[in-house]
Amino acid sequence: MVQPEKLGFDSAAFLAHAGLGRKVVQLAPRETFFSQGDPADSVFYLQDGRAKITVVSHAGKEATVALLSAGDFVGEESLAAVHGLRLATTEAITACTALKISREEMIRVMHEEHEFSDLFLKFLLARSMRTQADLVDQLFNSSEKRLARILLLMAEFGKSADPNTLIPRISQETLAEMIGTTRSRVSFFMNRFRKLGFIEYDGRIRVHRSLLNVVLHDQLPGDAHEDECISGPSQESDNYER
């Protein structure tokens, strides 16, 4: 007897719909997917929206370590240990829709469906490369260049042919945490980027492709190095969300 041919696994359909061991969840801005120290029992796939990953030190200092957009997984540490704990907090920046996949279901589908395990492995490799790039950026680039890179990443330049140039609301404090500088320097650079036409902001920040010039060159046209031109907090008004 001829055995019926097995239908191919559809990773996109798996990640788009609820089913055994997975459910679609809706999160409002500032609502958490999970918190640092919670049991690590599931993986989330972000279907829509933007989120951030933060960690808190023993001294209570909080830092934003990554930004997430549609198509990203988060919470993959749950696959490493049965009774592990969350290493960070993931919080929605905008309204988010995500697929919550139980640890058991995630492991099952990775073992049984090569197409899905390939997709997940590519994501993990891309995240590893991004983490390495972030470290190099932090060690060797100026604050100005780091800020430009973060804004371009949030606008998804390089991720698609049609970047979403209008980025989600993000505070000066969060940007300062991510690039390792003060809020006053972030304010100074944002105002300078705006004057040079690299960005627009009126409640929301719109990033122009010309901002790539800042990433490709250490200095802006006609300006001295940042350490020479910044001696204290910016005196200009802050026209975007604090």
Q: How far is it, in rounded angstroms, from Cα 43 to Cα 45?
A: 7
pLDDT (average), residues 80-95: 90
pLDDT, residue 234, reads: 39
Residue-wise pLDDT for 90-117, tens only, equals 999 999 999 999 999 999 999 999 999 9
- The single-letter code of the amino acid at 119 is L
Burial of 127 (0-12, 13-18, 19+ CB in 10 A): middle
The mean pLDDT of 61-90, rounded to a whole number, is 90
Q: Give, as one character, the DSSP assignment of residue 39.
A: B
Residues 136-154 pLDDT 10s: 888 888 899 999 999 998 8
Comparing C-alpha atoms, which of 117, 91, 194, 182 is closest to residue 148? 194
**pLDDT number for residue 117:** 96
Residue 237 confidence class, pLDDT cut points 50, 70, 90: very low
Question: Which string of b and e fits 192-224 if b means at least 16 CB within 10 Å?
Answer: bbbebebbebeeebebbeebbebbeeeebeeee
Based on the number of CB atoms within 10 Å of its own CB, is 64 exposed (0-12), middle (13-18) or buried (19 or more)?
Answer: buried
Give the pLDDT confidence score for residue 228 in this predicted structure. Answer: 38
pLDDT at 242 > cutoff 50: no
- Per-chain mean pLDDT for the chain: 85
Cα-Cα-Cα-Cα dihedral sign, residues 101, 102, 103, 108:
negative
The pLDDT value recorded for residue 83 is: 78
Dihedral pair phi/psi, residue 62, rounded to 5°: -105, 140
pLDDT at residue 232, as a whole number: 40
Query: CA torsion sign, 236 to 239 to 240 to 242?
Result: positive
